[in-house]
């Protein structure tokens, strides 16, 4: 039956083919388990990238709108330099317990000036 070299070659080819099939099946089974891990890692990286993109978008919006880091709006104010405005501000700020256009609170006047 296995008397000549051609028969041994055919047997070797059959065993080689069988080993290839066994290794391919093992790779497919092991590969699908690894595929789930890879997909989970890809999903987590995408989630992280989306969060970072949203953070960058909000940071740009905050800078463009002029908001400080603590979240309160910052508005620019022009200094009072004209004599009539200075006189009106001094008069309104020296009057006790009245809201003025210069200060939004009711200032309590002390010896050192208005306090909040």
For tokens 């069988």, what's the residue? 18
Model confidence pTM above 0.75: no
Q: Which pLDDT score, from 0 to 100, does residue 101 have?
A: 59
Calpha distance 106→109 (Å, rounded):
9
User: Which of the pair, 86 or 10, is modelled with greater confidence?
Assistant: 86
Q: Which pLDDT score, from 0 to 100, does residue 110 have?
A: 47
State both tokens at 100: 């003025």
Q: What are the sequence ranges of the domains in the chain?
A: 1-69
* pLDDT, tens only, 22-77: 988 888 777 666 677 788 899 999 999 999 999 999 888 877 876 666 666 666 67
């Amino acid at each position: 039956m296995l008397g000549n070299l051609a028969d041994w070659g055919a047997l070797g080819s059959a065993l080689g083919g069988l080993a290839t099939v066994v290794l391919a099946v093992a790779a497919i089974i092991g590969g699908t388990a690894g595929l789930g891990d890879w997909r989970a890692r890809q999903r987590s990286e995408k989630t992280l990238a989306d969060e970072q993109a949203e953070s960058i978008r909000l940071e740009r919006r905050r800078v463009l709108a002029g908001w400080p880091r603590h979240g309160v709006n910052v508005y620019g104010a022009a200094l009072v330099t004209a004599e009539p405005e200075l006189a009106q501000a001094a008069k309104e700020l020296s009057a006790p317990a009245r809201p003025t256009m210069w200060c939004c609170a009711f200032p309590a006047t002390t010896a050192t000036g208005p306090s909040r």
